[in-house]
Structure 1
Amino acid sequence: MERKSAGGSIRNKERSKKKFLDAVGKILKTKGYTGLKVNAIATTAGVDKKMIYTYFGGIDGLMDEYIRSQDFWSKITPEELEHIKPRVDDGGKSFMTEMMLSQFDYVHQNKEAQKLLLWRLSEPRKALKKLTDTQEENGEYIFKLMNGDNFGKHSDDIRSIMAIMVSGLYYLNLYAEMNGSIFCGIDVSTEEGRNKIKKAISFLLGQTYDNLKDSE
């Protein structure tokens, strides 16, 4: 009986935590980050606000966990890479192409991720700075795993090109969602338009890897 009670307590805790995380997402989508107050989150979740401190250590801890759950690149951890065992013999070209395409679709489909991106651009916050640090740590691991010594003096060129592509794909999705879907004559909201962007992603990465390796 004691085991069952303990198990039930754990399940209740996880359900309550999920309610809080869902509440953050709902408020972020409907009211923006300025609506993320303790009382509002607790009311939306239907859970006593004291539990925010019990489960997360406070509002910052709740924000940390929510942000990690929604950000695309924070999920690409060393542990996750070890699990999926990506191909590395091509310098990471196929893996990075897959990741860029996945990022493009993920942000397009995830309204909470879009709001999170806008939040990061609008407010300096400890939890958001931690997200950036986590992304950089994961990114550094990916670069070292994927590229190794393949590009030598061109390693920073690869990083710079990736920075432009990651930020550009973020912007395309945000622009299409917030201000209209046509960008440079491409309708980013349609399957046809998005497929054109994806084709360009594959082309750009292919050219980048092939040309930089050839110039060594």
Structure 2
Amino acid sequence: MKTRKIQGPIRDKQKTMQKLLQAVGAILKSEGHKGLKVSKIADRAKVDKKLIYNYFGSLNGLIDCYLKEHDFWKRTDHVLKANPITDVTPGLMSGIFKNQFDFLERSNEMQNIILWELSEYNRQLSELVDERERFGEGIFQLSDKYFAGTPVNFRAVNALLVAAVYYIVLHKRYNKNTFCSIDVTTHEGKDQILNAIDQIINWCYTEAAKSKKATGKKINPAS
């Protein structure tokens, strides 16, 4: 059975919305958030600027849609919702951070979004950060059984790793200097950082297990 193609106004609307979203990405990549103006986005998309208001309600609505489609943590959330997990293993956590590093390294748009977050308050970005926090809390609730009652503060370790990935990728973009004697612009340097992520995450689980063993506590699968 052949799939029926959408024709007419609906298809035209979808194409135009996609053009506008692509224009937002292109401007973010080349100019950063300060270039996100209605006329500039419409010119880049080669459409009437009124369509931004017709299809997204406002410039903020368009930007909000773009951010939610392209944020690494939102994408990861969608993947995990499509493939639900019941446990948070060291391999899963390391994989998330290494994927974050790879994604941010490749995406100038996402790098500029992070810089935007750090440079000024923005309601949409604040809401996006709140959504990331909700995603993270879901992960932590699944990992709590490993760390509850131990000296390992897994949330604090994750905060440091997220911040480290952001800073190292941005440092690599703007500086050619080594970082703690590591040249992160090379494959060898990047591998050192990714291996360190594995080591840190594995250390957390190992130390927590040692602590539970020493105190006679057991991991509660239902927790």
What is residue 153 of structure 1 aligned with on the other side?
149
Name the CA distance, whole Å, in 1 between partners of 2:192 and 2:134.
31
The 5-angstrom pairing of residues 91-170 of structure 1 reads 91-145=88-142, 147-154=143-150, 157-170=153-166
Is the contact between residue 87 and residue 94 of structure 1 (CA under 8 Å) also seen in structure 2? no
Is the contact between residue 94 and residue 198 of structure 2 (CA under 8 Å) also seen in structure 1? yes
* Unaligned segments of structure 2, at least 5 residues: 213-223
Runs of 4+ in 1 over 4 A off after TM superposition: none
Tell me the TM-score normalised to structure 2 length: 0.87
TM-superposed deviation, 1:148: 4.0
TM-superposed deviation, 1:61: 0.8
Is the contact between residue 181 and residue 189 of structure 1 (CA under 8 Å) also seen in structure 2? no
Name the CA distance, whole Å, in 1 between partners of 2:5 and 2:165.
48
Name the CA distance, whole Å, in 2 between partners of 1:30 and 1:115.
9
Q: Compared with structure 1, are the counterparts of its residues 155 and 143 closer, same or farther at alpha carbon in structure 2 (3 Å cutoff)?
A: farther
Q: Compared with structure 1, are the counterparts of its residues 5 and 183 closer, same or farther at alpha carbon in structure 2 (3 Å cutoff)?
A: closer
TM-superposed deviation, 1:63: 0.9
TM-superposed deviation, 1:85: 3.8
Name the CA distance, whole Å, in 2 between partners of 1:156 and 1:60.
41
Name which one, 1 or 2, has greater alpha-carbon Rg.
2
What is the root-mean-square deviation in Å for CA atoms of aligned residues?
2.0
Give the length in aligned residue pairs: 209
TM-superposed deviation, 1:114: 0.7
How big is each residue's C-alpha offset from its partner over 1:156-195, in whole Å with a ceiling of 9 and x where there is no partner? 8100000000110111000000122521111111111111
Note if 1:14 corresponds to 2:14: yes
Tell me the TM-score normalised to structure 1 length: 0.89
Is the contact between residue 21 and residue 62 of structure 1 (CA under 8 Å) also seen in structure 2? yes
Is the contact between residue 56 and residue 62 of structure 1 (CA under 8 Å) also seen in structure 2? yes
Name the CA distance, whole Å, in 2 between partners of 1:157 and 1:16.
47
Name the CA distance, whole Å, in 1 between partners of 2:25 and 2:6.
29
Is the contact between residue 151 and residue 208 of structure 2 (CA under 8 Å) also seen in structure 1? no
Name the CA distance, whole Å, in 2 between partners of 1:156 and 1:42.
50
TM-superposed deviation, 1:18: 1.4
TM-superposed deviation, 1:43: 0.8
Note if 1:34 corresponds to 2:31: no
What is residue 45 of structure 1 aligned with on the other side?
45
Letter in 2 for 1:176: K
